[in-house]
Chain A
């Protein structure tokens, strides 16, 4: 179902589109990014360099890109979704190819002012392409095996390529994001039940097989699982990150130790304190109140995405908005679960807060798509 099929009373045009942006989301994202600047300033020991200032510049650029993308009519985005997906898969292939012929472990392509990770880009293009696919496919056929197999393949290709990098975090986000979109589009419950059941069975089998002749995974992989379940069993080795991270969080208490007073981060006990583990610094310095506030900001962004999606009668736009909300959710949910010891340590940054150019710009681009859907929604 597409935009043109509706009777459109008025379509914002020109610069006046800016007035129709989903401003609450813009404000919320700016607030979250500001929390990030604050924390990056703190973990640098009270300095704009080396993290806070570049991060601000990137945010400014990202914000500009977001609004620019928001100006693009959403139907145009739908029409290029396939091409965008194809390009990002080609880029993944390119990285894979060059990676194996002498570019070392590079996972990015230098685009001048920043390094672009194709795997980051794939997170949006996959959502776009799947939304376009479900916009196109007949609603009645949606749960037929053939029409389910197609999106599964669409998801599987980039997942396979990112796993080869290896980038488990991104692969997981792609699987959950893609699967989530299929769920939203209305694919029958039974498929999901089967997948969840199969996964549970597999996990059960893996654990059952431990120490037997038909053991399914290697011993060291079991030890990794052990460390995840009980980090204290290896506090200086693999469990170090998670143990220190929990100590930082916990020692924050209700109100935290005060801005720039966090000993865990300041004394380098925290690993990756400016990237994946930045939330622990926040929680250490601002306590439970600080942590729950940031979580609330994230939830509010989600709420606005869901509201925007539900109010959008265009199927592509609605799916796209929900998909982007879901991706955003997956980012912060996985990251926070990880630092709080609820999930294994996989490299997923805290959206808009962690230092890192690619992730932030790609996220803002994604919100540009969401804004475009919002601006050009049928009225």
Chain B
């Protein structure tokens, strides 16, 4: 069919017109595309370039190695061990169950481990590495590394983890670290980005906690290029982290071990301090616990056992525990009276077994009384009535002031958890806190270290050191930080006359070395090692009239919780004091029978620098002492180590 030329022309004209319109439209749209491209690529280029860099570069923190802690001889107390572990990124695995099974063929994994790994894989993001197994041996890690191609998503890895090679010995002094908790974050001001790292370990208790800012070190950073799923492609640069400062303590780890071993089986504390420098060489608290359990994540069962134990293993009794000091306080009362010139050392006071003051009977521990007794003998035999008399002459304010001079009732600044300030009451204190006026009976009780008076074993050891030196010795736990020696705790003179000190020290010598002294039974035979000391037995309950009448006085007949605390303070050698000691045995009964033997063994160990020599004991006791010492669980598997020898 032929069409008319007119039609043909008309249609061609339409087509040309429309074609041009469409061509123009297409060109216009291409122009819009070009403009848009210009807008994005030229005008907004800087902004988008920035966004691309943000996409690409991720800054990762490099956790620093934590500073190590050493004893005074360079033995490692807290170190960092390489923790070989295996991680899995869920996103890189098709069948995690199969990989886990394969892994279990290579490394020891219990069903419990597997279950925990599955749980973690479920909980965590698919993109982050989840720890499947840790604390592997090098051999196991190598096994995994060699087989890595067959284990998709699995990466052998190494991190640092805290280790306490001395175990329970330093549980209370050094404390332990643990992962940062939400509670920690809410409590501390610190805005260190390190704390945001999951499972970053910080000091939870003890020196680990108190010296956190020294030990932690500084975070490094590394800038890495990551791809869209967050996998690291390459490292662009890094700022190395700075290792935390090494800390050297004044503690002698071997003596500490002896003290802990000696205290084992009791609920007790003992502190040994160098009288010249205030260096704390041993701070024992029993029972203790293995701090490594906490680092690894303690099980509910283990933790329950620790918290339900009536001997309170978690508490550091040496600094947290406060006890009525009992007769160990008598030196304070004596010095207060001597300084106030209210008593002549040779003046005798008559003890008839009790004193009647304000219509109340205050008993001496010896029912029949001590008869006429002077200062030296009042200490030696621990006569209570003598001190009831002094209390009435001197008054509580002066006794309290003397106690403070000797380091009681004040909080000593040592980097350990919950250091107690004890309590040294005054009239004002009672009005404020007990809503009652001070009565004379309060003074009488305070004079023999009962009533309101409370002191920690640390304070008692400091008191003993001050009695030995006549100087305001203050305790020092940290010997050096990063090699920089800390200030000595030698302190200024107490300003008490030598004559007064000699009377009190003489009394203490008599306690420990003269026949009839309360500590004579635990004397040291070797002259150059002899102690001067004071026993103490403090009541934790009131003895009722009925009980006194019936004569129920024997601690052994009472339930443990109601028995008296046994205490001992002392220093040695008696003629040229080097160490001071305090021992508190909770509900241990009598100071001379429970606390004094411990003090003697500990002082011998401190002075000789090893196991107490049998020759230092009175010959009649050697057999019993020897078998007791052999039973102690002494261990010393670690070689001495200089502070900087381990990176």
Q: Is the interface of B mostly helix, strand, loop or mixed?
A: helix
Q: What 1/0 mask marks residues of chain A from 303 to 342 whose CB sits below 8 Å from any chain B CB?
A: 1001001100101001100100110010001001100101
Which of A1, A183, A326, A342 touches B26 (beta carbons < 8 Å)? A326
Q: A340 to B22: give the CA distance in the assembly, Å.
A: 23
Cβ-defined contact, A310 with B45, below 8 A: no
**Interface membership of A186, Cβ < 8 A:** yes
Contact A288 B229 (CB under 8 A): no
CB <8 Å contact, A269 and B48: no
Residue in B2, B49, B228 whose CB lies within 8 Å of A269:
B228
Q: Counting CB contacts under 8 A, is A19 at the interface?
A: no
- Is A281's CB within 8 Å of the partner chain B? no
Contact A254 B34, beta carbon cutoff 8 Å:
no
The contact of B3 among A5, A318, A322, by CB within 8 Å, is A5
Indicate which residue in B18, B33, B34, B53 contacts A337 across the interface (CB closer than 8 Å): B33
Check: B107 CB closer than 8 A to any chain A CB. Answer: no
Bound CA–CA A139/B11 (angstroms): 7
Instruction: Give A180 to B18 CA distance when docked, in angstroms.
Output: 10
Contacts of B23 in A (CB 8 A): 302-303, 306
Do the beta carbons of B225 and A263 come within 8 Å of each other? yes
CB of B49 within 8 A of CB of A250, answer: yes
CB distance from A130 to the nearest CB of B (A): 13
Q: Are A336 and B33 in contact (CB under 8 A)?
A: yes
Closest to A318 in B: B15
> Which chain A residues in 230-251 approach chain B with CB under 8 Å?
244, 246-251
Interface: B38 (CB within 8 A) = yes
In the bound assembly, the distance between CA atoms of A264 and B51 in angstroms comes to 10
Instruction: Judge whether B14 is part of the interface by a CB distance below 8 angstroms.
Output: yes
- Whether the pair B52, A139 counts as a contact (CB closer than 8 A) is no
Instruction: Kindly list chain A residues whose C-beta atoms are within 8 Å of the C-beta of B11.
Output: 1, 139, 186, 315
User: Which residues of A from 182 to 209 have beta carbons under 8 Å from B?
Assistant: 183-186
Q: Is the interface of A mostly helix, strand, loop or mixed?
A: helix
For the complex, what is the distance from the CA of A228 to the CA of B636, rounded to whole Å? 72
Complex Cα–Cα for A64 and B104 (A): 58
Q: Are the CB atoms of A263 and B22 closer together than 8 Å?
A: no
Residues of chain B lying within 8 A (CB to CB) of residue A28: none
| Contacts known (A264-B55, A299-B27, A326-B22); A292 close to B34, Cβ less than 8 A | yes
- Hey, which chain B residues are within 8 Å of A267, CB to CB? 55-56, 225-228, 233
- Contacts of B26 on A, CB cut-off 8 Å? 302, 325-326, 329, 333
Which A residues lie within 8 Å of B628 (CB)?
Answer: none
Contact A250–B19 (Cβ < 8 Å): no
Contact B41 A283 (CB under 8 A): yes
Residue in chain A with minimal CB distance to B7: A139
**Is the beta-carbon distance between B41 and A322 smaller than 8 angstroms?**
no
Is A253's beta carbon under 8 Å from chain B? Answer: yes
On chain B, the residues within 8 Å of A322 by CB distance are 15, 19, 22
B29 interface hit (Cβ, 8 Å):
yes
Minimum CB–CB distance from A125 to chain B (whole Å) comes to 21
Question: Who on chain B is nearest to A283 by CB?
Answer: B41
Q: Which of B46-75 contact A (CB under 8 A)?
A: 47-49, 51-53, 55-56
CB distance from A169 to the nearest CB of B (A): 17
Q: Distance (Å) between the CB of A211 and the closest chain B CB?
A: 31
For A251, what are the chain B residues with a Cβ–Cβ distance below 8 Å? 45, 48-49, 51-52
The listed residue with most A CB atoms (<10 A of its CB), out of B3, B22, B41, B45, is B41
In the complex, B40 has a CB within 8 A of chain A: yes
Q: How far is the CB of A136 from chain B (nearest CB, A)?
A: 9
B12 within 8 A of A: yes
Q: Which of B1-45 contact A (CB under 8 A)?
A: 2-3, 7-8, 10-12, 14-16, 18-20, 22-23, 26-27, 29-30, 32-34, 36-38, 40-42, 44-45
Contact partner, B30, options A264, A287, A298, Cβ 8 Å: A298
Residue of B nearest to A302 (CB): B26
CB of A357 closer than 8 Å to a CB of B: no
CB contact between B20 and one of A186, A268, A310, A319 (< 8 Å): that residue: A310
> Closest residue of chain B to A139, judged by CB?
B11
Give the residues in chain B near A268, CB-CB below 8 Å: 227-229
A250 with B44: CB separation less than 8 A: yes
Given contacts A309-B19, A329-B26, contact A246 B36 (CB under 8 A): no
Residues in chain A near residue B19, CB distance under 8 A:
184, 306, 309-310, 318, 322
Which residues in A have their C-beta under 8 angstroms from that of B22? 180, 183-184, 322, 326
Q: Which of B15, B38, B226, B229 contacts A186 (CB 8 A)?
A: B15
B232 to chain A, nearest CB (A): 11
User: Which of A140, A250, A269, A295 has the most B CB atoms < 10 Å from its CB?
Assistant: A250
Give the residues in chain A near B3, CB-CB below 8 Å. Answer: 1, 5, 139
Min CB distance A229 to B, Å, is: 15
A349 at the interface (CB under 8 A from B): no
A6 to chain B, nearest CB (A): 9
Tell whether, in the assembled complex, residue B48 and residue A249 are in contact, meaning their CB atoms are under 8 Å apart: yes
A residues less than 8 Å from B30 (CB atoms):
295, 298-299, 302, 333
- Report B-chain residues with C-beta under 8 Å of the C-beta of A183: 18, 22
Interface centre among B18, B33, B40 (most CB of A within 10 A): B40
Which residues of B lie under 8 Å from residue A138 when comparing CB positions?
7
Report if A1-B18 is in contact (Cβ < 8 Å); known contacts: A254-B45, A263-B225: no
Residues of A within 8 A of B34 (CB): 292, 295
Chain B residues positioned under 8 Å from A340 (CB to CB): 33, 36-37, 40
Q: How many whole Å from B196's CB to the nearest CB in chain A?
A: 21
**Bound CA–CA A264/B57 (angstroms):** 11
17 A-B Cβ contacts within 8 A? Answer: A139-B3, A185-B15, A247-B55, A250-B45, A251-B48, A264-B55, A264-B56, A269-B55, A269-B56, A292-B34, A298-B30, A302-B27, A310-B19, A313-B12, A319-B15, A333-B30, A342-B36
Q: Which 8 A-B pairs have the closest CB atoms?
A: A250-B48, A251-B52, A186-B14, A267-B227, A253-B45, A288-B41, A268-B228, A306-B23
- Chain B residues packing against A (C-beta within 8 Å): 2-3, 7-8, 10-12, 14-16, 18-20, 22-23, 26-27, 29-30, 32-34, 36-38, 40-42, 44-45, 47-49, 51-53, 55-56, 225-229, 233
14 additional A-B residue pairs with CB within 8 Å, beyond A295-B30, A325-B26? A1-B3, A1-B7, A139-B14, A183-B22, A248-B52, A250-B41, A250-B45, A250-B51, A250-B52, A251-B45, A252-B41, A264-B52, A340-B36, A342-B33
